[in-house]
Amino acid sequence: MSWNNFCSLFKKDCQMMIAGKFFLVAFGSLIIYTLFINFGYVHYMNAELYNVYLYDPQGTQQEVSERIHPVASLEELNAVLSADANGVGIDTSSGTPGIVFYYGSEKSDNHRTDYALSLLHQENEYTAKIVGSNTLESKQRKEMCSELLFIEIIAVGFLGIASVLFKEKQMGAIRVHAVLPFKKGLFIMAKLAVFLLSDLIFTVLMTVLNIGFPDAAAILPAVLVQTAILSLIMALMGFGCTMMLKDFRQFSLAYVIIVIFASAPIFLSANTSVKMAWMDLHPFYHVYMGLKNACFGMPVINPVYYICSVCGIVILFLLAQAVFHREMGKEG
């Protein structure tokens, strides 16, 4: 009996989301993200070590490395350096080599000097030992994929549930539910199920399209677990906020605050070497790292993380149920 109720609620929510063009928006973002990763990010994100230019009119340097670019005059040296401000110039016109370059930062300047000088001597070719399993491209794909997944789930779970619920709230459908003969928890469950399902499908498509099938198949189970945690948290938070706030405009304010202030420090901390001490207290940081590590094939194994996540979801569920009952009572 209760299963039938659940099914009809689920069906109604799906219809509402189709009518609200929700799936269309999600599908559009999927295409944009995929195009961005496959044709933009992977191709343009790379940096080479500095170029070294040698001006050597007397030919004093005999055994220079082939990585050095010779130039014919001092003017040419100045011109290439001002065009390539990270480059390093070596000027041997006075007999001994002198280094010239534009200021970068103190430590990188030390390295630029020593690197340029080392190129004046042929050394044995050395290749650093490789201890990881990713290439640059596969890492960039996984990294961008996890970031976009995180953004999309935060945005979709939160905004999507609001768009559906505010409609029901305004139409008075929530008041109708107060008198319908089914368990009230089912109402929230059905909403969660719709968003969970759509987020999981989105995740599968996103990983397969951007990481490639063989790699994606290996990491997918772990990624789906993390997606489910994040999706449930965001959908429950969206549910609670929708019940408490008056209309969509107020909600959009809460939305901007959550998106900017909750996710900006996470991206800064998780993707650059900037580390902030209070970051460990930020709950979304752990979820994001869980998702990212799962994408890199290193799922979190610490049971504390999962216990905390489940507790968090249960607490959020109870809170959502409480505000839902209050909302029904207010209108009933």
Partner 1 sequence: MRGLFYQLKSVWKDKFCMMSFFLPIVVALALKFIGGIDLSSVAEFHFGVLESDLSDQTIGWLGRYGSVTAYKTQEELTAAINEPSTYMIGVTSDGGSIQTMVSGDELDLFRQTADTLPALYEGRERAAEISVNILERPDMMAGFQNIFIAITLIVAMFMGCTFNAMNMIAEKENGIDLVNQVLPVTQSGYVIQKIFVGFTGGCLSAVLTACCYFRLQWGSAILMLVLIMLSAFIAALIGLFIGKFSESLMVGVVYIKIVMIIFMAVPLVSYLLAAGGLASVLCYFVPSSAAFEGIMNLAASGNPAIAKDLLILMAHCVIWFLLYLSISKWQKKHT
Residue 306 interacting with partner 1 (CB under 8 A): no
Work out which of 3, 83, 95, 249 binds partner 1, going by CB under 8 A. Answer: 249
Considering the complex, state which of residue 252 and residue 302 has its C-beta at the smaller distance from partner 1: 252
Helix (H, G, I), strand (E, B) or coil at 319: helix
318 binds partner 1 (CB under 8 A): no
Spacing of C-alpha 272 from chain mean position: 12
Smaller CB separation from partner 1, 15 or 110: 110
For residue 169, how many other CB atoms are within 10 A of its CB? 20
Residue 4 interacting with partner 1 (CB under 8 A) = no
Two tokens, residue 210:
């951007």
Contact 234, 159 (CB under 8 A): no
Among 58, 272, 277, 281, binds partner 1 (CB under 8 A): 272
41-48's contacts with Cβ under 8 Å and 24+ in sequence apart are 41/140, 41/144, 42/137, 42/140, 42/141, 45/140, 46/136
Q: How far apart are CA 206 and CA 33, in angstroms?
A: 8
Between residue 179 and residue 218, which ones bind partner 1 under the rule CB under 8 A? none
Query: Quick count: other Cβ atoms within 10 Å of Cβ 321?
Result: 18
Q: Is residue 139 part of the contact set for partner 1 (CB under 8 A)?
A: yes
Give the residue with the Cβ less far from partner 1, 60 or 271: 271
Identify which of residues 128 and 304 has a Cβ nearer to partner 1 in the complex.
128
> How far is CA 46 from each of CA 20, 40, 85, 270, rounded to the nearest angstrom?
40, 12, 17, 19
Distances (CA, A) of 172 to 167, 168, 175, 328, 332: 9, 6, 5, 10, 10
Give the pair of three-digit tokens for residue 296: 């890199």
Give dist(CA 58, CA 94) in Å, integer. 9
Contact flag: residue 283 with partner 1 (CB under 8 A): no
Binding residue (CB under 8 A) for partner 1 from 176, 218, 256, 311: 256
- Please give the DSSP secondary-structure letter assigned to residue 52: E
**Interface pick for partner 1 out of 15, 27, 39, 98 (rule CB under 8 A):** 98
User: Which member of 5, 6, 113, 184 binds partner 1 (CB under 8 A)?
Assistant: 113
> Would you say 63 or 179 has its CB closer to partner 1?
63
Task: Kindly tell me which residue out of 30, 71, 77, 81 binds partner 1, with binding defined by CB under 8 A.
Answer: 81
Q: Is 118 in the site for partner 1 (CB under 8 A)?
A: yes
Q: Judged by CB under 8 A, which stretch of 68-76, 223-231, 251-259, 278-286 contacts partner 1?
A: 251-259
Number of residues that bind partner 1 (CB under 8 A): 62
Residue ranges in contact with partner 1 by CB under 8 A:
20-21, 25, 45-49, 81, 85, 96-105, 107-111, 113-115, 117-118, 121, 123-124, 126-136, 138-139, 142-143, 163, 248-250, 252-253, 256, 270-274, 292, 296
